[in-house]
Structure 1
Protein backbone atom coordinates (compact mmCIF):
# COMPACT_ATOMS: atom_id res chain seq x y z
CA UNK A 1 0.00 0.00 0.00
CA UNK A 2 1.37 3.41 -0.96
CA UNK A 3 2.01 6.19 1.53
CA UNK A 4 -0.98 8.28 0.42
CA UNK A 5 -3.32 5.29 0.64
CA UNK A 6 -2.01 4.49 4.13
CA UNK A 7 -2.64 8.05 5.28
CA UNK A 8 -6.16 7.99 3.82
CA UNK A 9 -6.85 4.70 5.60
CA UNK A 10 -5.42 6.17 8.81
CA UNK A 11 -7.72 9.19 8.63
CA UNK A 12 -10.75 6.98 8.01
CA UNK A 13 -9.82 4.76 10.95
CA UNK A 14 -9.26 7.80 13.17
CA UNK A 15 -12.67 9.15 12.16
CA UNK A 16 -14.33 5.90 13.19
CA UNK A 17 -12.47 5.98 16.53
CA UNK A 18 -13.75 9.54 17.02
CA UNK A 19 -17.26 8.27 16.33
CA UNK A 20 -16.93 5.70 19.11
CA UNK A 21 -15.74 8.43 21.49
CA UNK A 22 -18.67 10.65 20.56
CA UNK A 23 -20.97 7.80 21.54
CA UNK A 24 -18.98 7.19 24.74
CA UNK A 25 -17.60 10.58 25.84
CA UNK A 26 -16.89 9.32 29.34
CA UNK A 27 -13.98 7.30 27.92
CA UNK A 28 -12.03 10.57 27.91
CA UNK A 29 -12.27 10.56 31.72
CA UNK A 30 -9.76 7.69 31.84
CA UNK A 31 -6.83 9.72 30.40
CA UNK A 32 -7.89 12.54 32.75
CA UNK A 33 -7.61 10.27 35.80
CA UNK A 34 -4.22 9.03 34.63
CA UNK A 35 -3.00 12.55 33.88
CA UNK A 36 -4.07 13.96 37.26
CA UNK A 37 -2.50 11.01 39.08
CA UNK A 38 0.74 11.56 37.15
CA UNK A 39 0.77 15.25 38.04
CA UNK A 40 0.26 14.49 41.75
CA UNK A 41 3.00 11.84 41.61
CA UNK A 42 5.51 14.17 39.97
CA UNK A 43 4.82 16.92 42.49
CA UNK A 44 5.28 14.42 45.35
CA UNK A 45 8.54 12.96 43.98
CA UNK A 46 10.18 16.22 42.98
CA UNK A 47 8.92 18.05 46.06
CA UNK A 48 10.27 15.34 48.38
CA UNK A 49 13.60 15.40 46.59
CA UNK A 50 13.99 19.14 47.01
CA UNK A 51 13.06 18.94 50.68
CA UNK A 52 15.14 15.98 51.89
CA UNK A 53 17.62 15.11 49.16
CA UNK A 54 20.83 16.46 47.69
CA UNK A 55 19.81 16.85 44.06
CA UNK A 56 23.44 17.45 43.13
CA UNK A 57 24.42 13.91 44.08
CA UNK A 58 24.68 11.61 41.02
CA UNK A 59 23.16 8.71 42.96
CA UNK A 60 20.18 10.80 44.03
CA UNK A 61 19.77 12.18 40.51
CA UNK A 62 19.66 8.66 39.03
CA UNK A 63 17.23 7.52 41.71
CA UNK A 64 14.91 10.46 41.13
CA UNK A 65 15.07 9.97 37.36
CA UNK A 66 14.25 6.26 37.76
CA UNK A 67 11.35 7.09 40.07
CA UNK A 68 10.01 9.61 37.54
CA UNK A 69 10.31 7.18 34.61
CA UNK A 70 8.80 4.28 36.57
CA UNK A 71 5.90 6.18 38.11
CA UNK A 72 4.88 8.05 34.99
CA UNK A 73 5.15 4.88 32.87
CA UNK A 74 3.03 2.90 35.35
CA UNK A 75 0.32 5.54 35.62
CA UNK A 76 0.21 6.02 31.85
CA UNK A 77 0.00 2.25 31.33
CA UNK A 78 -2.76 1.99 33.93
CA UNK A 79 -4.81 4.69 32.19
CA UNK A 80 -4.20 3.10 28.80
CA UNK A 81 -5.19 -0.33 30.09
CA UNK A 82 -8.45 1.07 31.45
CA UNK A 83 -9.14 2.77 28.12
CA UNK A 84 -8.31 -0.36 26.10
CA UNK A 85 -10.62 -2.40 28.33
CA UNK A 86 -13.43 0.12 27.84
CA UNK A 87 -12.88 0.07 24.07
CA UNK A 88 -12.78 -3.75 23.99
CA UNK A 89 -16.07 -4.01 25.86
CA UNK A 90 -17.61 -1.40 23.57
CA UNK A 91 -16.47 -3.43 20.54
CA UNK A 92 -18.43 -6.33 22.01
CA UNK A 93 -21.57 -4.22 22.37
CA UNK A 94 -21.24 -3.67 26.14
CA UNK A 95 -21.37 -0.32 27.96
CA UNK A 96 -18.52 -0.28 30.52
CA UNK A 97 -18.39 2.35 33.24
CA UNK A 98 -15.32 4.34 34.25
CA UNK A 99 -15.09 2.52 37.59
CA UNK A 100 -15.41 -0.87 35.91
CA UNK A 101 -12.64 0.04 33.45
CA UNK A 102 -10.31 1.23 36.22
CA UNK A 103 -11.00 -1.93 38.22
CA UNK A 104 -10.20 -4.07 35.17
CA UNK A 105 -6.89 -2.23 34.69
CA UNK A 106 -6.03 -2.85 38.35
CA UNK A 107 -6.50 -6.57 37.69
CA UNK A 108 -3.45 -6.44 35.41
CA UNK A 109 -1.26 -4.63 37.94
CA UNK A 110 1.52 -7.25 37.90
CA UNK A 111 2.14 -7.05 34.16
CA UNK A 112 1.81 -3.26 34.15
CA UNK A 113 4.41 -2.94 36.93
CA UNK A 114 6.84 -5.10 34.93
CA UNK A 115 6.16 -2.96 31.86
CA UNK A 116 6.82 0.22 33.86
CA UNK A 117 10.07 -1.19 35.29
CA UNK A 118 11.28 -2.14 31.81
CA UNK A 119 10.35 1.30 30.50
CA UNK A 120 12.22 2.99 33.36
CA UNK A 121 15.38 0.94 32.76
CA UNK A 122 15.25 1.61 29.02
CA UNK A 123 14.68 5.29 29.69
CA UNK A 124 17.76 5.47 31.92
CA UNK A 125 19.87 3.62 29.35
CA UNK A 126 18.77 5.94 26.56
CA UNK A 127 19.45 8.96 28.76
CA UNK A 128 22.97 7.65 29.47
CA UNK A 129 23.62 7.11 25.76
CA UNK A 130 22.44 10.62 24.97
CA UNK A 131 24.80 12.01 27.61
CA UNK A 132 27.80 9.99 26.41
CA UNK A 133 28.36 12.13 23.33
CA UNK A 134 26.70 14.82 21.29
CA UNK A 135 25.34 13.98 17.84
CA UNK A 136 26.24 10.28 17.80
CA UNK A 137 24.72 9.64 21.22
CA UNK A 138 21.52 11.45 20.25
CA UNK A 139 21.28 9.46 17.00
CA UNK A 140 21.85 6.07 18.66
CA UNK A 141 19.41 6.89 21.45
CA UNK A 142 16.79 7.99 18.92
CA UNK A 143 17.14 4.78 16.89
CA UNK A 144 16.99 2.58 19.98
CA UNK A 145 13.99 4.54 21.23
CA UNK A 146 12.17 3.98 17.95
CA UNK A 147 12.97 0.26 18.07
CA UNK A 148 11.72 0.00 21.65
CA UNK A 149 8.57 1.91 20.79
CA UNK A 150 7.89 -0.40 17.85
CA UNK A 151 8.53 -3.58 19.86
CA UNK A 152 6.20 -2.50 22.66
CA UNK A 153 3.56 -0.75 20.55
CA UNK A 154 0.83 -3.27 21.42
CA UNK A 155 2.00 -4.24 24.95
CA UNK A 156 -1.00 -2.75 26.78
CA UNK A 157 -3.62 -4.19 24.38
CA UNK A 158 -1.90 -7.59 24.66
CA UNK A 159 -2.07 -7.40 28.47
CA UNK A 160 -5.77 -6.48 28.43
CA UNK A 161 -6.98 -8.69 25.58
CA UNK A 162 -4.86 -11.77 26.32
CA UNK A 163 -4.23 -11.38 30.08
CA UNK A 164 -0.58 -11.88 29.12
CA UNK A 165 2.26 -12.19 31.59
CA UNK A 166 5.57 -10.27 31.58
CA UNK A 167 7.27 -12.38 28.91
CA UNK A 168 4.25 -13.00 26.70
CA UNK A 169 3.29 -9.33 26.49
CA UNK A 170 6.57 -8.36 24.83
CA UNK A 171 6.66 -11.39 22.55
CA UNK A 172 3.05 -11.04 21.39
CA UNK A 173 3.40 -7.28 20.88
CA UNK A 174 6.49 -7.81 18.74
CA UNK A 175 4.79 -10.54 16.71
CA UNK A 176 1.74 -8.38 16.02
CA UNK A 177 3.90 -5.43 15.02
CA UNK A 178 5.83 -7.62 12.58
CA UNK A 179 2.57 -8.81 11.03
CA UNK A 180 1.12 -5.36 10.37
CA UNK A 181 4.25 -3.16 10.52
CA UNK A 182 3.84 -0.47 7.86
CA UNK A 183 0.07 -0.27 7.80
CA UNK A 184 -0.41 0.04 11.56
CA UNK A 185 2.13 2.82 11.89
CA UNK A 186 0.59 4.69 9.01
CA UNK A 187 -2.68 4.69 10.95
CA UNK A 188 -0.87 5.64 14.15
CA UNK A 189 0.83 8.58 12.43
CA UNK A 190 -2.47 10.04 11.27
CA UNK A 191 -4.07 9.53 14.69
CA UNK A 192 -1.18 11.35 16.38
CA UNK A 193 -1.40 14.13 13.79
CA UNK A 194 -5.11 14.56 14.49
CA UNK A 195 -4.40 14.54 18.23
CA UNK A 196 -1.88 17.33 17.75
CA UNK A 197 -4.38 19.36 15.73
CA UNK A 198 -6.87 19.05 18.59
CA UNK A 199 -4.40 20.72 20.97
CA UNK A 200 -3.32 23.52 18.62
CA UNK A 201 -6.38 25.81 19.13
CA UNK A 202 -5.72 25.90 22.86
CA UNK A 203 -2.02 26.59 22.30
CA UNK A 204 -2.92 29.41 19.91
CA UNK A 205 -5.22 31.02 22.49
CA UNK A 206 -2.49 30.74 25.14
CA UNK A 207 -0.01 32.39 22.77
CA UNK A 208 -2.43 35.26 22.13
CA UNK A 209 -3.01 35.65 25.89
CA UNK A 210 0.73 35.93 26.51
CA UNK A 211 0.91 38.75 23.96
CA UNK A 212 -1.91 40.76 25.54
CA UNK A 213 -0.32 43.72 27.38
CA UNK A 214 -3.14 43.99 29.94
CA UNK A 215 -2.77 41.25 32.62
CA UNK A 216 -6.44 41.66 33.61
CA UNK A 217 -7.62 40.76 30.13
CA UNK A 218 -4.93 38.11 29.59
CA UNK A 219 -5.90 36.02 32.65
CA UNK A 220 -9.32 34.76 31.47
CA UNK A 221 -7.98 34.24 27.96
CA UNK A 222 -5.10 32.19 29.33
CA UNK A 223 -7.49 29.99 31.31
CA UNK A 224 -9.62 29.44 28.21
CA UNK A 225 -6.55 28.46 26.20
CA UNK A 226 -5.31 26.02 28.83
CA UNK A 227 -8.79 24.49 29.10
CA UNK A 228 -9.05 24.08 25.32
CA UNK A 229 -5.59 22.51 25.13
CA UNK A 230 -6.42 20.14 28.00
CA UNK A 231 -9.69 19.02 26.39
CA UNK A 232 -7.93 18.52 23.06
CA UNK A 233 -5.16 16.52 24.73
CA UNK A 234 -7.59 14.27 26.59
CA UNK A 235 -9.68 13.58 23.50
CA UNK A 236 -6.51 12.94 21.48
CA UNK A 237 -5.17 10.50 24.08
CA UNK A 238 -8.48 8.65 24.11
CA UNK A 239 -8.51 8.64 20.32
CA UNK A 240 -5.08 7.00 20.17
CA UNK A 241 -6.03 4.38 22.75
CA UNK A 242 -9.24 3.41 20.95
CA UNK A 243 -7.51 3.24 17.56
CA UNK A 244 -4.74 1.01 18.91
CA UNK A 245 -7.30 -1.26 20.60
CA UNK A 246 -9.29 -1.59 17.36
CA UNK A 247 -6.14 -2.41 15.37
CA UNK A 248 -5.09 -5.07 17.86
CA UNK A 249 -8.57 -6.58 18.13
CA UNK A 250 -8.79 -7.04 14.37
CA UNK A 251 -5.17 -8.09 13.85
CA UNK A 252 -5.00 -10.60 16.69
CA UNK A 253 -8.54 -11.96 16.75
CA UNK A 254 -9.41 -11.38 13.10
CA UNK A 255 -12.97 -10.53 14.01
CA UNK A 256 -15.42 -7.72 13.44
CA UNK A 257 -15.09 -4.61 15.59
CA UNK A 258 -18.38 -2.87 16.34
CA UNK A 259 -18.41 0.70 15.06
CA UNK A 260 -15.56 0.14 12.59
CA UNK A 261 -15.66 -0.62 8.88
CA UNK A 262 -14.07 -4.02 8.30
CA UNK A 263 -12.66 -2.88 4.94
CA UNK A 264 -10.80 -0.04 6.68
CA UNK A 265 -9.46 -2.37 9.35
CA UNK A 266 -8.38 -4.83 6.68
CA UNK A 267 -6.37 -2.15 4.91
CA UNK A 268 -5.00 -0.79 8.19
CA UNK A 269 -3.66 -4.22 9.16
CA UNK A 270 -2.19 -5.17 5.81
CA UNK A 271 -5.13 -6.96 4.14
CA UNK A 272 -5.16 -9.90 6.50
Structure 2
Protein backbone atom coordinates (compact mmCIF):
# COMPACT_ATOMS: atom_id res chain seq x y z
CA UNK A 1 0.00 0.00 0.00
CA UNK A 2 2.69 2.58 0.84
CA UNK A 3 4.16 2.01 -2.63
CA UNK A 4 0.96 3.36 -4.18
CA UNK A 5 1.42 6.64 -2.33
CA UNK A 6 5.11 6.71 -3.16
CA UNK A 7 4.28 6.35 -6.84
CA UNK A 8 1.73 9.15 -6.54
CA UNK A 9 4.35 11.49 -5.12
CA UNK A 10 6.79 10.48 -7.88
CA UNK A 11 4.09 11.31 -10.44
CA UNK A 12 3.72 14.75 -8.83
CA UNK A 13 7.45 15.44 -9.12
CA UNK A 14 7.58 14.33 -12.74
CA UNK A 15 4.43 16.29 -13.63
CA UNK A 16 6.09 19.42 -12.27
CA UNK A 17 8.88 18.72 -14.76
CA UNK A 18 6.34 18.56 -17.61
CA UNK A 19 4.94 21.91 -16.44
CA UNK A 20 8.39 23.50 -16.35
CA UNK A 21 8.99 22.42 -19.95
CA UNK A 22 5.59 23.76 -21.08
CA UNK A 23 4.82 26.78 -18.86
CA UNK A 24 2.43 28.29 -21.43
CA UNK A 25 -0.19 25.76 -20.33
CA UNK A 26 -0.69 27.99 -17.27
CA UNK A 27 -2.30 30.62 -19.51
CA UNK A 28 -5.47 28.51 -19.70
CA UNK A 29 -6.18 28.30 -15.93
CA UNK A 30 -5.35 32.01 -15.70
CA UNK A 31 -7.97 32.73 -18.37
CA UNK A 32 -10.38 30.59 -16.35
CA UNK A 33 -9.86 32.72 -13.23
CA UNK A 34 -10.27 35.91 -15.23
CA UNK A 35 -13.42 34.62 -16.95
CA UNK A 36 -15.07 33.51 -13.69
CA UNK A 37 -14.14 36.78 -11.99
CA UNK A 38 -15.46 38.78 -14.93
CA UNK A 39 -18.72 36.82 -15.02
CA UNK A 40 -19.31 37.31 -11.28
CA UNK A 41 -18.50 41.01 -11.56
CA UNK A 42 -21.03 41.33 -14.40
CA UNK A 43 -23.73 39.52 -12.41
CA UNK A 44 -23.03 41.75 -9.39
CA UNK A 45 -23.29 44.85 -11.57
CA UNK A 46 -26.64 43.66 -12.95
CA UNK A 47 -27.91 42.95 -9.42
CA UNK A 48 -26.94 46.44 -8.26
CA UNK A 49 -28.30 48.03 -11.42
CA UNK A 50 -31.75 46.46 -10.95
CA UNK A 51 -31.76 46.85 -7.18
CA UNK A 52 -32.17 43.17 -6.35
CA UNK A 53 -29.20 42.77 -4.02
CA UNK A 54 -31.40 42.79 -0.93
CA UNK A 55 -33.72 40.22 -2.53
CA UNK A 56 -30.77 37.93 -3.30
CA UNK A 57 -29.70 38.10 0.34
CA UNK A 58 -33.14 37.70 1.95
CA UNK A 59 -35.47 35.94 -0.51
CA UNK A 60 -34.91 32.19 -0.86
CA UNK A 61 -36.06 32.07 -4.48
CA UNK A 62 -33.61 34.77 -5.54
CA UNK A 63 -30.84 33.46 -3.28
CA UNK A 64 -31.01 29.89 -4.54
CA UNK A 65 -31.37 31.06 -8.11
CA UNK A 66 -28.24 33.19 -7.73
CA UNK A 67 -26.45 30.29 -6.08
CA UNK A 68 -27.36 27.97 -8.96
CA UNK A 69 -26.07 30.55 -11.46
CA UNK A 70 -22.83 30.91 -9.48
CA UNK A 71 -22.31 27.14 -9.40
CA UNK A 72 -23.15 26.78 -13.09
CA UNK A 73 -20.84 29.60 -14.18
CA UNK A 74 -17.87 28.50 -12.08
CA UNK A 75 -18.30 24.83 -13.03
CA UNK A 76 -18.75 25.43 -16.77
CA UNK A 77 -15.93 27.95 -17.09
CA UNK A 78 -13.48 25.95 -14.97
CA UNK A 79 -14.31 22.74 -16.83
CA UNK A 80 -13.98 24.45 -20.22
CA UNK A 81 -10.48 25.74 -19.56
CA UNK A 82 -9.39 22.57 -17.74
CA UNK A 83 -10.59 20.64 -20.78
CA UNK A 84 -8.30 22.80 -22.90
CA UNK A 85 -5.36 22.02 -20.60
CA UNK A 86 -6.13 18.28 -20.72
CA UNK A 87 -6.21 18.32 -24.52
CA UNK A 88 -2.91 20.21 -24.73
CA UNK A 89 -1.27 17.96 -22.13
CA UNK A 90 -2.37 14.85 -24.02
CA UNK A 91 -0.84 16.21 -27.25
CA UNK A 92 2.36 17.16 -25.42
CA UNK A 93 2.56 13.58 -24.12
CA UNK A 94 2.40 12.37 -27.73
CA UNK A 95 5.17 14.81 -28.77
CA UNK A 96 2.69 16.65 -30.99
CA UNK A 97 2.48 20.38 -31.57
CA UNK A 98 -0.20 22.21 -29.61
CA UNK A 99 -1.17 25.73 -28.67
CA UNK A 100 -3.56 27.71 -26.51
CA UNK A 101 -5.85 28.12 -29.51
CA UNK A 102 -5.73 24.37 -30.16
CA UNK A 103 -6.74 23.66 -26.56
CA UNK A 104 -9.59 26.15 -26.66
CA UNK A 105 -10.83 24.68 -29.95
CA UNK A 106 -10.83 21.19 -28.43
CA UNK A 107 -12.80 22.42 -25.42
CA UNK A 108 -15.26 24.16 -27.72
CA UNK A 109 -15.89 20.90 -29.58
CA UNK A 110 -17.16 19.31 -26.35
CA UNK A 111 -19.06 22.39 -25.17
CA UNK A 112 -22.38 20.54 -25.03
CA UNK A 113 -20.95 17.89 -22.69
CA UNK A 114 -19.45 20.65 -20.56
CA UNK A 115 -22.80 22.46 -20.44
CA UNK A 116 -24.66 19.31 -19.38
CA UNK A 117 -22.04 18.59 -16.76
CA UNK A 118 -22.23 22.16 -15.41
CA UNK A 119 -26.02 22.01 -15.09
CA UNK A 120 -25.87 18.67 -13.24
CA UNK A 121 -23.10 19.87 -10.91
CA UNK A 122 -24.90 23.18 -10.24
CA UNK A 123 -28.22 21.45 -9.56
CA UNK A 124 -26.73 18.98 -7.08
CA UNK A 125 -24.62 21.66 -5.44
CA UNK A 126 -27.68 23.88 -4.95
CA UNK A 127 -29.83 21.02 -3.62
CA UNK A 128 -27.26 20.02 -1.01
CA UNK A 129 -26.69 23.66 -0.04
CA UNK A 130 -30.43 23.93 0.66
CA UNK A 131 -30.33 20.70 2.68
CA UNK A 132 -27.39 22.07 4.67
CA UNK A 133 -29.25 25.31 5.36
CA UNK A 134 -32.70 23.90 6.10
CA UNK A 135 -32.04 20.62 7.93
CA UNK A 136 -29.42 21.47 10.53
CA UNK A 137 -26.87 18.84 11.47
CA UNK A 138 -28.44 16.22 9.22
CA UNK A 139 -28.23 18.53 6.23
CA UNK A 140 -24.64 19.47 7.04
CA UNK A 141 -23.66 15.81 7.29
CA UNK A 142 -25.45 15.01 4.02
CA UNK A 143 -23.62 17.86 2.29
CA UNK A 144 -20.27 16.78 3.72
CA UNK A 145 -20.77 13.20 2.51
CA UNK A 146 -21.94 14.46 -0.88
CA UNK A 147 -18.97 16.81 -1.31
CA UNK A 148 -16.47 14.05 -0.52
CA UNK A 149 -18.20 11.43 -2.68
CA UNK A 150 -18.64 13.87 -5.54
CA UNK A 151 -14.98 14.91 -5.46
CA UNK A 152 -13.85 11.28 -5.72
CA UNK A 153 -16.46 10.30 -8.29
CA UNK A 154 -15.59 13.22 -10.57
CA UNK A 155 -11.81 13.10 -10.16
CA UNK A 156 -11.33 12.13 -13.84
CA UNK A 157 -14.44 13.80 -15.24
CA UNK A 158 -12.59 16.40 -17.34
CA UNK A 159 -10.28 13.89 -19.10
CA UNK A 160 -13.34 11.67 -19.65
CA UNK A 161 -15.30 14.56 -21.20
CA UNK A 162 -12.41 15.57 -23.47
CA UNK A 163 -10.73 12.27 -24.36
CA UNK A 164 -13.43 9.60 -24.01
CA UNK A 165 -15.61 10.90 -26.90
CA UNK A 166 -18.69 9.40 -25.24
CA UNK A 167 -21.90 11.27 -24.47
CA UNK A 168 -24.12 10.70 -21.46
CA UNK A 169 -23.44 12.08 -18.00
CA UNK A 170 -24.19 8.73 -16.39
CA UNK A 171 -21.58 6.93 -18.48
CA UNK A 172 -19.06 9.69 -17.88
CA UNK A 173 -19.55 9.53 -14.11
CA UNK A 174 -19.29 5.74 -14.09
CA UNK A 175 -16.10 5.85 -16.11
CA UNK A 176 -14.56 8.55 -13.92
CA UNK A 177 -15.48 6.67 -10.74
CA UNK A 178 -14.11 3.40 -12.11
CA UNK A 179 -10.80 5.03 -13.02
CA UNK A 180 -10.49 6.57 -9.57
CA UNK A 181 -11.20 3.20 -7.93
CA UNK A 182 -8.39 1.64 -9.97
CA UNK A 183 -5.87 4.40 -9.22
CA UNK A 184 -7.08 5.77 -5.88
CA UNK A 185 -3.72 5.50 -4.09
CA UNK A 186 -1.80 7.26 -6.83
CA UNK A 187 -4.58 9.80 -7.39
CA UNK A 188 -4.93 10.81 -3.75
CA UNK A 189 -1.19 11.02 -3.06
CA UNK A 190 -0.57 12.93 -6.30
CA UNK A 191 -3.30 15.43 -5.39
CA UNK A 192 -1.88 15.88 -1.90
CA UNK A 193 1.59 16.29 -3.38
CA UNK A 194 0.43 19.02 -5.77
CA UNK A 195 -1.46 20.78 -2.97
CA UNK A 196 1.60 20.70 -0.69
CA UNK A 197 4.00 21.99 -3.35
CA UNK A 198 1.81 24.93 -4.30
CA UNK A 199 0.89 25.72 -0.71
CA UNK A 200 4.61 26.22 -0.13
CA UNK A 201 4.71 28.43 -3.24
CA UNK A 202 1.71 30.44 -1.99
CA UNK A 203 3.00 30.81 1.58
CA UNK A 204 5.12 33.96 0.95
CA UNK A 205 2.11 35.51 -0.75
CA UNK A 206 -0.12 34.70 2.23
CA UNK A 207 2.47 36.25 4.55
CA UNK A 208 2.57 39.41 2.41
CA UNK A 209 -1.22 39.61 2.35
CA UNK A 210 -1.35 39.29 6.13
CA UNK A 211 1.36 41.89 6.61
CA UNK A 212 -0.29 44.28 4.16
CA UNK A 213 -3.67 43.98 5.84
CA UNK A 214 -2.73 43.86 9.53
CA UNK A 215 0.73 45.42 9.91
CA UNK A 216 1.79 47.76 7.12
CA UNK A 217 0.26 51.07 6.08
CA UNK A 218 0.14 53.31 3.04
CA UNK A 219 2.08 52.42 -0.08
CA UNK A 220 3.92 49.61 1.69
CA UNK A 221 0.61 47.94 2.55
CA UNK A 222 -0.64 48.35 -1.00
CA UNK A 223 2.57 46.90 -2.42
CA UNK A 224 2.41 43.94 -0.04
CA UNK A 225 -1.23 43.27 -0.90
CA UNK A 226 -0.60 43.43 -4.65
CA UNK A 227 2.57 41.33 -4.48
CA UNK A 228 1.00 38.79 -2.17
CA UNK A 229 -2.10 38.54 -4.33
CA UNK A 230 -0.03 37.93 -7.45
CA UNK A 231 1.95 35.16 -5.73
CA UNK A 232 -1.24 33.45 -4.52
CA UNK A 233 -2.84 33.68 -7.96
CA UNK A 234 0.32 32.25 -9.54
CA UNK A 235 0.21 29.36 -7.06
CA UNK A 236 -3.46 28.66 -7.84
CA UNK A 237 -2.82 28.74 -11.57
CA UNK A 238 0.23 26.48 -11.27
CA UNK A 239 -1.66 24.04 -9.07
CA UNK A 240 -4.55 23.78 -11.53
CA UNK A 241 -2.17 23.26 -14.44
CA UNK A 242 -0.14 20.52 -12.76
CA UNK A 243 -3.31 18.84 -11.49
CA UNK A 244 -4.60 18.66 -15.07
CA UNK A 245 -1.27 17.17 -16.22
CA UNK A 246 -1.38 14.55 -13.45
CA UNK A 247 -4.95 13.53 -14.18
CA UNK A 248 -4.37 13.38 -17.92
CA UNK A 249 -1.35 11.13 -17.48
CA UNK A 250 -3.21 8.88 -15.02
CA UNK A 251 -6.20 8.74 -17.36
CA UNK A 252 -4.06 7.81 -20.39
CA UNK A 253 -2.28 5.06 -18.51
CA UNK A 254 -5.37 3.66 -16.79
CA UNK A 255 -7.45 3.57 -19.99
CA UNK A 256 -4.92 2.85 -22.75
CA UNK A 257 -1.77 1.63 -21.01
CA UNK A 258 0.15 4.58 -22.50
CA UNK A 259 3.30 5.44 -20.55
CA UNK A 260 3.20 9.16 -21.29
CA UNK A 261 4.27 12.30 -19.48
CA UNK A 262 5.17 11.39 -15.88
CA UNK A 263 5.18 7.69 -16.82
CA UNK A 264 7.35 7.94 -19.92
CA UNK A 265 10.69 7.21 -18.26
CA UNK A 266 9.39 4.70 -15.75
CA UNK A 267 9.70 0.96 -15.62
CA UNK A 268 6.27 -0.48 -16.53
CA UNK A 269 6.55 -2.94 -13.63
CA UNK A 270 6.62 -0.02 -11.16
CA UNK A 271 3.42 1.58 -12.44
CA UNK A 272 0.26 0.18 -10.87
CA UNK A 273 1.72 -3.28 -10.17
CA UNK A 274 -0.67 -5.90 -8.94
CA UNK A 275 0.87 -6.21 -5.49
More deviation in 20-29 or 175-184? 175-184
Q: Secondary structure at the match of 2:263?
A: coil
Deviation at 1:185, TM superposition (A): 1.8
Deviation at 1:157, TM superposition (A): 0.2
Structure 1 gaps, min length 5? none
Query: 1:50 maps to which residue?
Result: 48
* Structure 2 residue 61 is matched with structure 1 residue 62: no
TM-score between the two structures when normalised by the length of structure 1 = 0.92
Contact 1:20 1:259 in 2 (8 A): yes
From 255, 264, 267, the counterpart of 2:258:
255
More deviation in 66-75 or 55-64? 55-64
Query: 2:34 maps to which residue?
Result: 36
Deviation at 1:50, TM superposition (A): 3.0
Query: 2:228 maps to which residue?
Result: 225
Query: 1:158 maps to which residue?
Result: 160
More deviation in 19-28 or 145-154? 145-154
Q: Provide, for residues 31-68 of structure 1, a one-character-per-residue CA deviation record: whole Å limited to 9, x for no partner.
A: 00111000011111222123323323221111111111
Q: Provide, for residues 191-245 of structure 1, a one-character-per-residue CA deviation record: whole Å limited to 9, x for no partner.
A: 2222322222211111122233431222212211111111111111101111111
Q: How does 1:89-168 map to 2 (within 5 A)?
A: 89-167=91-169, 168=171
Deviation at 1:262, TM superposition (A): 5.7
TM-score between the two structures when normalised by the length of structure 2 = 0.91
Distance 1:13 1:94 in 2: 21
CA change 1:17–1:86 in 2 (3 A) is same
Distance 1:62 1:179 in 2: 37
Q: Provide, for residues 113-152 of structure 1, a one-character-per-residue CA deviation record: whole Å limited to 9, x for no partner.
A: 0110011011011101211233332222111111111111
Distance 1:129 1:79 in 2: 30
Query: 1:12 maps to which residue?
Result: 10
Deviation at 1:266, TM superposition (A): 6.7
From 172, 192, 195, the counterpart of 1:169:
172
Query: 1:210 maps to which residue?
Result: 213
More deviation in 244-253 or 6-15? 6-15
